[in-house]
Amino acid sequence: MKAENEKRQLASVGKVKEPVTHIEKPLEENINRIQVEGDEARSVEEAIAVLSVKDPDVDRHPEKRVKAAYTSFEEVNMPRIKSENPTLRLSQLKQILRKDWMKSPENPLNQRFSS
């Protein structure tokens, strides 16, 4: 009822309120572009990880992943060892590769002690 009364009064005076356009409004900051300080999460799992206070669990059974890790290590490093030592036999190359593997950070057994 109040709105109707205001319309009648404005109509009688001759002034009608014009709607405010986007040109007249001041610009608002786009909150989608704000850089957040610290950690941010976009899913429930990420939010739980950000809010949790305990340290991530240490891998308790790295020996389960040794064979696959060694195979990938061998595929990557065997060509390098062959090019460095072209006159050696395959068994000798594998001995060198094994020594490198024991010192490598890719070895899951070394990862447990490094952290």
Pair of tokens at residue 94:
């594998």
Burial 38-60 (b: 16+ CB within 10 A, else e): eeeeeeeeeeeeeeeeeeeeeee
Domain holding 77, by residue range, is: 62-114
Question: pTM for the whole thing?
Answer: 0.47
Establish if 72 belongs to a structural domain.
Answer: yes
Of residues 100 and 20, the one with the higher pLDDT is: 100
Establish if 76 belongs to a structural domain.
Answer: yes
Place of tokens 């909150």: 31
Establish if 105 belongs to a structural domain.
Answer: yes
Establish if 30 belongs to a structural domain.
Answer: no
Q: Region 37-57: what's the mean pLDDT?
A: 80
pLDDT in tens, 71-99: 999 999 999 999 999 999 999 999 999 99
Establish if 3 belongs to a structural domain.
Answer: no
Establish if 46 belongs to a structural domain.
Answer: no
Cα–Cα separations (whole angstroms), residue 65 to 16, 58, 112: 77, 14, 12
Of residues 21 and 86, the one with the higher pLDDT is: 86
114 pLDDT above the threshold of 70: no
Establish if 70 belongs to a structural domain.
Answer: yes
Number of domains in the chain: 1
Supply the pLDDT for residue 108: 86
